[in-house]
Amino acid sequence: MGCRKFQANAEADSEELENPPKALDKIRFLSLTDKEILGEGDNAKLEIQIKLDKENKILSIRDRGIGMTKEDLIKNLGTIAKSGTSAFVEKMQKSGDLNLIGQFGVGFYSVYLVADYVEVISKHNDDKQYVWESKADGAFAISEDTWNEPLGRGTEIRIHLRDEASEYLEEFNLKELVKRYSEYINFPINLWASKEVDVEVPADVDETSEEEESSKTSSEEENENEDEDGEKQPKTKTVKQTTHEWEVLNNVKAIWLRNPKDVTDEEYNKFYHTLAKVVSWSHFTAEGDVEFKAVLFVPPKAPRDLYDTYYNAHKSNLKLYVRRVFISDELLPKYLSFLKGLLDSDSLPLNVSREMLQQHSSLKTIKKKLIRKALDMIRRIADESTDKDNKGLFCVKWKLTKSEGKLTSLDQYISRMKSGQKDIFYITGTSKKQLEKSPFLEQLKKKNYEVIFFSDPVDEYLMQYLMDYEDKKFQNVSKEGLKLGKSAKDKELKESFKDLTKWWKSSLVGENVDDVKISNRLDNTPCVVVISKFGWSANMERIMQSQTLIDPAKQAYMRGKRVLEINPRHPIIKELRDRVVNNPEDESVKKTTQLMYQTALFESAFVLNDPKDFTSRIYDSVKLSLDISPEATVEEEVETSDEKEDASASKAEADYDAKDEL
């Protein structure tokens, strides 16, 4: 609640910085046909001045704009104070014109969020100097100003701040406020800022006498303290002294108002001061129903906190300005939140609350145009790093089985697809090195198909929603549904291994195996474990198991059925078929097939539920290959005399502790 109140108060103060530029714009426009209207000396300076009076808690904002007559003060500021908001609401309902708000001074009255009392001193060339004052209690007073300093021309707003708004009496807070909301206003905003300087002042008499007694001054030093007439200068000391001077707060130029052809690369990089280098930028002007100018930047790498702040509604890097006044930073969708830049429009109404402006129908048009320009810029970056003949619409790139380590787009992949290939083949895993050795790629490589390597965890999430591209469906080669063409021997092989597949499936009842099938993806590996088409892949299972707050019920639901695929041409599989046909109850065959299933799970990147059982079977297999009896046991370790004494002492101590507890 405190943060919202601070934000509201900040915007209330910023409202008072939005009016002076309009007054300055008016006088500058009139001066084009009447140069004498500006006057001479300080009056001719088109600027905004801010002063603080901490003692009296007054914040003053002054401009040298067109000023207001007595009638203007009544018309522009007196209406709401006199009749409330009913007239404003009534006219808004009739006309729906948001620009009406400026006529009633709604923006100005937000100042009472931070003030108890406000004075508006104004001088127009065609009238005397007047003071408008109100406590926002439904009453106001206007009188000729005979006691304040003559303004010459322009308006000064004196905001008598409430106690809880004292933060706006701090120079730092005001500088931040101007930087956030009014950094790109055309006219200089000057703050009467304080700073400490070193000043030479006469030293005290006591200090001077002590110095003379404690040290002797050399003749050379004495000469330095003498003036041209030979007289000694008084001794001085350096002290800190607070002085005040005008400090310009908005010295950044709005380069988006210039022609893009006239802005150099160095100026773009300098303007985008948060990075030493940018990948690309887009500087453009939009015309039509809504006109605006914008500059978009693509940083060389994503910010470190990109994902940490992804769901933070107030964290955005692209800002909306209306006539160089900051309005909003919620223009781009989340997936483009890494872009930086700004947009400035003269078409949108400025004299409205930010909440109302953020709901303006024109913003929808602006957002659409921005997104289109942003995507065009990203495509251009992709095109610049791609062959001219392969310019793609999908800018994400990956490494492939035949890309020799180079990144490749989906459009390039499709352009190289084999004749008759209908699916985009991909495989997911932890690294390219691991995926290159995957048994799932054996037949694909042999038949010269390209496979995309998805080695980033985010790729798994992407492929849950990216079903197809350019009418080509995605096919995970580690899942069911892989089609590489039919062979005339398929039915014959299926019939030949029917006994083995049926027997093996029954022996894996407790292993969550849905089926045992003949594989079309293996070449020199005896068997692999694939997952059902709509379940998690082995890689996704591992990712989800590492999540702290994963729902076990969802994990069980999304873990797809496993299918053991066997290679009918492999000698091990052929031998197992013959043995199962001869003796389905052979224990050695059961142990072998169980070990092969666990090995296939491991090679297929699944996490073993019982690693100890798997390693025990491996060691039993090693014993068999070395002609070691399965009954052979580990030799007992012979204890030394010292070890026996230590064991006896430990036992005695344990017995003593047990008795003591009783």
Residues 6+ apart with CB under 8 A from 185: 17, 21, 48, 250, 324, 325
107 is in an annotated binding site: yes
Do residues 44 and 36 make contact, with C-beta atoms less than 8 angstroms apart? Answer: no
83 is in an annotated binding site: yes
Do residues 18 and 157 make contact, with C-beta atoms less than 8 angstroms apart? Answer: no
Any idea what the Cα angle at residue 245 is, between residues 241 and 248, rounded to 5°?
A: 135
For the packed helices 86-95 and 70-83, what is the interaxial angle rounded to 10 degrees?
100
Q: How far apart are CA 482 and CA 520, in angstroms?
A: 8
User: Nearest 5°: phi and psi at 483?
Assistant: -115, 120
* Residue 281 tokens, joined: 């930028």
534 is in an annotated binding site: no
Does residue 576 sit in helix, strand or coil? Answer: helix
103 is in an annotated binding site: yes
359 is in an annotated binding site: no
Closest to 188 (Cα-Cα) out of 250, 135, 119, 113: 250
Q: How far apart are CA 323 and CA 317, in angstroms?
A: 19
420 is in an annotated binding site: no
For 146-178, the DSSP string reads -SSPP-SSEEEEEEEE-GGGGGGGSHHHHHHHH
35 is in an annotated binding site: no
82 is in an annotated binding site: yes
User: Nearest 5°: phi and psi at 108?
Assistant: -60, -40
Burial of 227 from C-beta contacts in 10 A (0-12 / 13-18 / 19+): exposed
Closest to 195 (Cα-Cα) out of 252, 247, 238: 247
Residues 6+ apart with CB under 8 A from 158: 58, 59, 60, 118, 119, 120, 121
62 is in an annotated binding site: no
Do residues 563 and 480 make contact, with C-beta atoms less than 8 angstroms apart? Answer: yes
Q: How far apart are CA 207 and CA 311, in angstroms?
A: 64
9 is in an annotated binding site: no
Instruction: Kindly tell me the sign of the dihedral angle through the C-alpha atoms of 542, 548, 549, 552.
Output: positive
Query: What is the rounded (10 degree) CA torsion for 51, 121, 91, 9?
Result: 20
Any idea what the Cα angle at residue 44 is, between residues 43 and 50, rounded to 5°?
A: 60
155 is in an annotated binding site: yes
Q: How far apart are CA 305 and CA 307, in angstroms?
A: 6
Closest to 303 (Cα-Cα) out of 315, 319, 294, 320: 315
* Residue 283 tokens, joined: 């500087």
- Cα 95 to chain centroid distance, Å, stands at 40
106 is in an annotated binding site: yes
* Residue 45 tokens, joined: 């300076």
Burial of 146 from C-beta contacts in 10 A (0-12 / 13-18 / 19+): exposed
List beta partners, residue 424.
474
152 is in an annotated binding site: no
Closest to 630 (Cα-Cα) out of 640, 620, 618: 620
* Residue 490 tokens, joined: 């398929």
Rg of the chain over Cα atoms, rounded to whole angstroms, equals: 40
76 is in an annotated binding site: yes
Q: How far apart are CA 124 and CA 30, in angstroms?
A: 13
125 is in an annotated binding site: no
User: Backbone dihedral region of 572: left (phi > 0), alpha (psi from -120 to 50 degrees) or beta?
Assistant: alpha
Q: How far apart are CA 42 and CA 47, in angstroms?
A: 10
Closest to 560 (Cα-Cα) out of 574, 539, 578: 539
Could you list the residues known to form a binding site for ATP, using ranges: 19, 63, 68, 76, 82-84, 103-108, 155, 354
Could you list the residues known to form a binding site, using ranges: 19, 63, 68, 76, 82-84, 103-108, 155, 354
